[in-house]
Chain A
Amino acid sequence: MARGRSRRPRGDPDGTDTPAAPSAARNGAGLRGLAAWEVGVAGFLVAVCLIAIWELRDARPGTFEPLGSGPVPRVTAGLIIALSLWIAWRAWRRPAEAIVDPGYEPRPWDAAIVAGLTVVYVLVMASRTLGFAPLTAIFLTLAIGWLVRFRARTMPWVVLVAAITGWGCAYLFTRVFIVDLPGL
């Protein structure tokens, strides 16, 4: 949604008698960069806090003190909602910033793919269908392999590191530190 549609300069309820402030609305761009993250995070926090307040509706009053279980989390959630709405409103009103070149090519999809692989890795681990060592070796081969674009020259090293980490961790944690590991 374009930002400008809902924005009106202060003191101009119709948004007709003064030109729009310089903003993303003027060049047709939507929320982007920091402002988009701010609005997204603030919206998520408001949703979480509303759910928390709803859950607290049955919190019992205190027996020995006047507060009970509900008021402190309720006030905390209320404050988060109020401040998040303030942040979202400020981000919404702020003129769009020019996107600064970070000096490298960001790879958000790489992060998403590694995150996806991690979720699958943890799911398989939780299902106990494969042992920790081979599962970790497979996960690392895929995750590191993806990050190095499965280059043929690098892959032997990737497999070696994955195997050493998988079986090395299994030995180190179960035999040396005596810590249980997830998986079969």
Chain B
Amino acid sequence: MIEGLLGALAYLAQPFPFFLVALGTVLGIVVGAIPGLSGAMLIALTLPLTFYMQPVDAIVLLIGMYVGSITGGLITATMLRMPGTPSNVVTTFDGYPMAQAGKPGRALGLGIAASFVGGIVSWIVLLFLAKPLSVWATRFGPFEYFTLILMAMVLIASVSQGSMVKGLIAGFLGMLVSMPGVDPSAGQPRLTWDWYVLNGGLKLLPVLIGVFAVSQIIGDIVAITKRVERVETTMRGMLMSVADWRDQAFNMLRSSLIGTWVGILPGIGASIGSIMAYTTAKNMSRTPEEFGHGSEEGVVASEAANNATVGGALIPLIAMGIPGSVIDAILIGAMMIHSIQPGPTLFLTNADVVWAMIAACLVANVIMFAFMMGSVGFVSRIMYVPRTFLLPVILVFCIIGAFALDNTMFDVWVMLGFGVLGFAMERAGFPLGPFVIGFVLAPLMEEKLRSGLMMTAGSIEPIFTRPLPLIFLLVSIALLLMPFWRSWRERRENGPASEPAE
């Protein structure tokens, strides 16, 4: 383990790889700081530029962007009450009141320090858990994998913001969209309408760019008149004193562990992690009444947890090929584009890539901390960039990105179509995370189910007779039934007037 890590760190110490991690982190911070742009959008748009890079270089660049984008959103959340990324929503609760009270530097300083601690704690867990988990996962048979993915899908839908039914629809739709093309098991085309361009299926990149970037651009243009209120930036009080570190140490550690744990759970991501850590911090605080009115503990809990989800979410990705978040789903796509097959054998087949990912996560956190402490004042000015100029330019980059994958205009039309669909789904309250994760996981899920059935001559008995598939199945059923049970209990307590579960 140590040799692999040291080797990767030595590689990242070379000028070009280090430049890539630093560039990725800084770009991630900048994009995270611009309201309306997200890390998923940045990474999806950068993917085509990595085609000609070495796989390791491409992956470290994307990891830098991942870490940077989660942190960059802290600035807008604090200064504008507009979360730069969805994972910073909770930071607005206390960061903005602190900025309004004349302490923007203090809020940003606490947030940056908490982000750094969250990133490092989750990195330690990643370092020690990824390999043992991948060794364990190599024992998985097809039915274990099938039920694990099933559980991941239900979990994603059940914790998505809004209705669980909408989360399930989005997940199933992502699965269905991944199915056109030549069926790998039978070698026959399906859902192609005899249209040859669909024989290869819908590619991940145009769908991703459409769903995350184009839909966001459409939504931002609709809200183009939204005014941004400026808060005077004073960076006084950014550095935390020893007493601050002592006071916040337990909160930081607890929130980081919550964030890491939430990150490990497939597909949930940073938003839920920060909400859980914030709620826990509030429940355990001596001054819960300050939460929502500028509580320092609130900022620390939210930022430590959302950054901790990054390392946590990389664990199932590296160990099992299951994305821990939407950005991880995009990273899986990036690995596939570079002919790297994610999954439990990754440590054997592409150990250099795995160790580079783990090392890049550490280096990106250090760069993020140094850059944010040194230039947060400058970055905070970027968020006022006029969106009337920015959005059409990003649209051009989307078109180039979709086209560059295969040099076909068909991909550009696919991207635009999914952009409109993504916009409509968002307006109707359908979460987009389950859609992308369903799209990435469905081929694997179907392949495992069918190869399992091939092994057992069509019997699904192993799902009920082997311990792991049975556990995964029972958890899936419990997760599915939980909202209905909760709703039934509420209705029994509050009377029939309360709304049934969705």
- Interfacial residues, chain A to chain B (CB-CB below 8 A): 34, 37-38, 40-42, 44-45, 49, 52, 55-56, 59-60, 62-70, 72-73, 76-77, 79-80, 83-84, 86-87, 90, 102-108, 110-111, 114-115, 118-119, 121-122, 125-126, 136, 139-140, 143-144, 147-148, 157-158, 161, 165, 169, 173, 177-182
B428 in contact with A147 (CB, 8 Å): no
- The digit string for B208-224, where 1 denotes a CB below 8 A from any CB of A, is 00000000001101111
- Interfacial residues, chain B to chain A (CB-CB below 8 A): 48-49, 51-52, 163, 165-166, 168-169, 172-173, 175-176, 179, 183, 185-186, 188, 190-191, 193, 218-219, 221-227, 388-389, 391-393, 395-397, 399-400, 403-404, 407, 409, 412-413, 416, 420, 424-425, 427-430, 442, 446, 449-451, 453-454, 458, 502
B412 in contact with A182 (CB, 8 Å): yes
A55: B residues at CB distance < 8 A: 190-191, 193
B176 in contact with A165 (CB, 8 Å): no
B188: A residues at CB distance < 8 A: 59-60, 69
A114 in contact with B424 (CB, 8 Å): no
Other 14 A-B pairs with CB < 8 A, given A140-B393, A179-B48, A179-B400: A41-B424, A55-B190, A56-B190, A59-B188, A60-B186, A65-B453, A70-B190, A77-B176, A79-B168, A80-B169, A80-B173, A87-B169, A104-B225, A182-B400
B224 in contact with A110 (CB, 8 Å): yes
B392 in contact with A147 (CB, 8 Å): yes
A147 in contact with B388 (CB, 8 Å): yes
B439 to chain A, nearest CB (A): 12
A180 in contact with B407 (CB, 8 Å): yes
CA distance A59 to B324 in the complex (A): 33
> Contacts A45-B173, A140-B392 given: A147-B453 contact, CB under 8 Å?
no
B393 to chain A, nearest CB (A): 5
Which residue of chain A has its CB nearest to the CB of B393?
A165
> Contacts A45-B169, A55-B193 given: A177-B416 contact, CB under 8 Å?
no
Which residue of chain B has its CB nearest to the CB of A147?
B388
Which residue of chain B has its CB nearest to the CB of A181?
B400
Contact pick for A40, options B225, B412, B413, B428, CB 8 Å: B428
CA distance A165 to B392 in the complex (A): 10
B416: A residues at CB distance < 8 A: 118-119, 122
B185 in contact with A52 (CB, 8 Å): no
B186 in contact with A76 (CB, 8 Å): no
Q: Can you offer 6 A-B residue contacts whose CB atoms are under 8 A?
A: A55-B193, A67-B449, A69-B188, A73-B179, A83-B172, A119-B416
CA distance A157 to B373 in the complex (A): 33
CA distance A41 to B170 in the complex (A): 11
A37 in contact with B427 (CB, 8 Å): yes
Which residue of chain A has its CB nearest to the CB of B227?
A104
B393 in contact with A68 (CB, 8 Å): no
Contact pick for B409, options A73, A102, A182, CB 8 Å: A182
B378 to chain A, nearest CB (A): 21
Which residue of chain B has its CB nearest to the CB of A58?
B190
A87 in contact with B186 (CB, 8 Å): no
CA distance A90 to B428 in the complex (A): 13
The B interface is mostly helix, strand or loop, or mixed, namely helix
B167 to chain A, nearest CB (A): 10
B480 to chain A, nearest CB (A): 12
A66 in contact with B392 (CB, 8 Å): no
CA distance A134 to B187 in the complex (A): 44
B397: A residues at CB distance < 8 A: 169
Which residue of chain A has its CB nearest to the CB of B189?
A69
A44 in contact with B424 (CB, 8 Å): yes
B456 to chain A, nearest CB (A): 9
B156 to chain A, nearest CB (A): 15
A126 to chain B, nearest CB (A): 4
A114 in contact with B392 (CB, 8 Å): yes
Which residue of chain B has its CB nearest to the CB of A38?
B428
Which residue of chain A has its CB nearest to the CB of B406?
A180
A147 in contact with B221 (CB, 8 Å): yes
CA distance A126 to B454 in the complex (A): 45
Which residue of chain B has its CB nearest to the CB of A80?
B172
> Contacts A86-B165, A111-B222, A115-B218 given: A73-B191 contact, CB under 8 Å?
yes
> Contacts A76-B175, A165-B393 given: A122-B186 contact, CB under 8 Å?
no
Contact pick for A56, options B191, B222, B393, B450, CB 8 Å: B191
A122: B residues at CB distance < 8 A: 399, 409, 412-413, 416
B193: A residues at CB distance < 8 A: 55
B227 in contact with A40 (CB, 8 Å): no
B429 in contact with A177 (CB, 8 Å): no
A165: B residues at CB distance < 8 A: 393, 396
CA distance A125 to B407 in the complex (A): 12
A37 in contact with B428 (CB, 8 Å): yes
A76 to chain B, nearest CB (A): 5
CA distance A62 to B429 in the complex (A): 38
CA distance A110 to B222 in the complex (A): 7
B482 to chain A, nearest CB (A): 17
Which residue of chain B has its CB nearest to the CB of A143?
B392
CA distance A144 to B393 in the complex (A): 9
CA distance A72 to B180 in the complex (A): 12
A119: B residues at CB distance < 8 A: 416
B449: A residues at CB distance < 8 A: 67, 72
CA distance A139 to B223 in the complex (A): 21
A79 in contact with B424 (CB, 8 Å): no
B396 in contact with A179 (CB, 8 Å): no
> Contacts A41-B430, A77-B176 given: A147-B404 contact, CB under 8 Å?
no
Contact pick for B388, options A37, A59, A63, A148, CB 8 Å: A148
A34 in contact with B429 (CB, 8 Å): yes
A97 to chain B, nearest CB (A): 12
A84 to chain B, nearest CB (A): 6
B400: A residues at CB distance < 8 A: 169, 173, 179, 181-182
B221 in contact with A110 (CB, 8 Å): yes
